[in-house]
Amino acid sequence: MTDIHKLTRKLQRKNDSKIILYVGDGLGGLPLEPGGKTELETAKTPNLDALAQRGSLGMSIPVLPGIAPGSGPGHLGLFGYDPLQYDIGRGVLEALGIDFELGPDDVAIRGNFCTVDGDGNITDRRAGRIGNDVGAPLCEKLNKITIPGVEVFVQHVKEYRLVIVFRGAGLGGNVNDTDPQRTGVPPLAPKGEDEASEKTAEICAEFLRQAAEVLKDDAPANLLTMRGIAKMPPIPTFEEVYGTKAAAIAVYPMYRGLARLVGMDILDAGQTLDDQMKCLEQNWNEYDFFFVHFKYTDSTGEDGNFDAKVQRTEELDTAIPKMTVLKPDVIIVTGDHSTPAKMKAHSGHPVPTLLASDSCRFDGSKEFGESACRVGELGIFESKYLMLQALAHAGRLEKYGA
């Protein structure tokens, strides 16, 4: 296996160039009918189309062909970390995203409040997408749960999401998710893959038993599922491997956690896309690389709402002039994975990708969409190589070899 980071460490070149990676979460889509247009192709995106006309297009594969990635692997690939080598649990990312300091004895878990019926079957995996005003008090109730032999921490993240951390000696992080990823069935039982993880699984089961009692009168959030049960792994920092000073402008804790994991500075992104653009402008002179995240192309796709995803894609487009006015040397627009509204889920489809810089080999594209990206200059490539393209077009790589 080629060690990309060994190569980038060797070839780093310092300069004053600026790179923006603008991620429309779940950007890729599907037409509702054969021969139709995807959400991205349906949306009116004059700014992205103009950018495509002076850039290169392609399709990125987040993990491997056909593999539908979670947001963690999808983003790590965009950051140039092989998602098969760095398998990071979502619990770790959520904990880092809310500034929870994880120690070597900690196991972190992403929790989702859910709704179960009288038979214990899940009827809503996200508890009707309850708001912060409901989720936060429920976490305070759960934080009173005690389990002998471990410390238990429960913190609210956003809406129906929470973080649970178990702290104790000898705990493993290889435990299955309890979310069955569908409704009409009960949550899965936690099971560990090794002795240490089985110990963790038993603690998870006890926590869930107590949580069911605590939440029994709190419908729609009358239970929770556990996802991404994991310990903090060793991982090299962004600055080490690329020589860039990087910042993240992301609203949702999960994506702030991904950026923190690789050593990016986390900036105050506010709550809206306009807030994020103001943050970008205010910090423009302080960093070389900016990761800007937009969530709602994903959540509308997961909801199966094609029209809403089109609208959110049009919103994504409105930020482009606020980026280009800063004159970045490289701007990349892509997604961490595809989330077609037709499928209501992440999918294994390649993701439309746009790279614009003065050193691009223009490919004659007139618009930014899946059909144009399939025949673009960048081709179809694994996303872990995207950072090489970004660095090369920013003049940040020396020549390899004599």
Residue matched to tokens 């460490």: 9
CA distance 368 to 49: 5
Q: How far apart are CA 188 and CA 122, in angstroms?
A: 11
Gap between the Cα atoms of 356 and 378, Å rounded: 11
- The residue among 274, 277, 335 whose CA lies nearest residue 301 is 335
Residues 136 and 52 in one domain: no
The residue among 208, 230, 252 that closes a domain is 230
pLDDT in tens, 255-298: 998 999 999 999 999 999 999 999 999 999 999 999 999 999 99
Q: How many domains does the chain have?
A: 2
What percentage of the chain exceeds 70 in pLDDT? 100
Cβ 54 vs Cβ 360: under 8 Å: yes
Assess contact for 70 and 133: CB atoms under 8 A: no
DSSP 8-state assignment for residue 115: E
Domain end marker among 230, 265, 298: 230
Q: What is the pLDDT of residues 305-346, one digit of tens each?
A: 999 999 999 999 999 999 999 999 999 999 999 999 999 999
The length of the chain is 402
Range of the domain at 222: 93-230
- The dihedrals phi and psi of 368, each to the nearest 5 degrees, come to -105, 110
Any domain includes 10: no
The tokens of 260 are what?
């923190």
Same domain, 244 and 346: yes
User: Is there a single domain that holds both residue 140 and residue 265?
Assistant: no
Residues 389 and 247 in one domain: yes
In this structure, the answer to whether residues 186 and 39 fall within a common structural domain is: no
Q: Are 348 and 374 in contact (CB under 8 A)?
A: no
Question: Which residue ranges in the chain fall short of pLDDT 50?
Answer: 1
Residue 359 neighbours by CB under 8 Å, 6+ apart: 393, 395
Cβ atoms of 46 and 317 closer than 8 Å? yes
Of 230, 254, 280, which residue is a domain's last? 230
Say if CB 266 and CB 248 are below 8 A apart: yes
**Is 240 within a domain?**
yes
d(CA 373, CA 270): 32
Indicate the pTM of the whole model: 0.83
